[in-house]
Amino acid sequence: PGENETKVDLEELKTSVLYSGPVDPAEWVGLRKSNPLLVYLRNNLLMLAILAFEVTIYRHQEYYRCRNNLTAPVTKTIFHDITRAHLDDGVVNCVKYFINYFFYKFGLEVSHSILLFFRLPFQTFSFTDCVFTCFCHTDYPWRSGNANFNSNIIKWLYFPDFIVRPNPVFLVYDFMLLLCASLQRQTFEDENKAAVRIMAGDNVEICMNLDAASFSQHNPVPDFIHCR
């Protein structure tokens, strides 16, 4: 398109792969031949190897329990003999407890912290900066004149784009947020299980209106502050 046929910034248009030269039609849908293929697929093969190793471990554990008439642990923890009652029995037991149940106790705070930290790369995103662009019909729909998208929105939503190649680092942020959300959902489910509450303790807050000196009447944990 010429200068009078589009509303796209000419500087951005010069960097577009779609208009800078001939383009393989396969690349329009995200397909590109890679050489050597093994180097391109090594990360995928590594993930498959890790998944196969994980399945092997779970199958071996299940077979071992069935052969020895053992039951599976109530919670999927490392130290099965550590419960909420061992939290105040020393530093070693305290560390073991938090290795088992750290996200169970502080998952909500961790999720909020990671959310605030990983939103920093998206600070340039602004709905008020939306501009209308017009490409020819061979470009993506979000680059058409009827789409309220600019480069920042496309980057934030991780849409494919011929002008700015999507940064794969953003997938790490999305993965971490999805991981925290999944763990937090599992924590909410565990909080409703009596067996987990017995092992890890409940997350019910003590009333904030209670006097600090009378906490020992409502809290089963020894009072190390007002015990004197």
Residue 160 CA to residue 152 CA, distance in Å, equals 12
The two three-digit tokens of residue 206, written as one number: 């003590």
Cβ-based neighbour number of residue 9 at 10 Å: 14
Tabulate helix, strand, coil % of the chain (nearest 5): 55, 0, 45
Collapse the DSSP code of 132 into the 3-class scheme (helix H, G, I; strand E, B; otherwise coil) and give the result: coil
pLDDT digit string (tens) for 141-200? 777 666 677 777 787 778 887 777 788 888 888 888 888 888 888 888 888 888 888 888
Global confidence as pTM: 0.57
pLDDT digit string (tens) for 42-54? 889 999 999 999 9
Q: Within 13 Å of residue 136, how many CA atoms lie on the same side as its CB?
A: 10
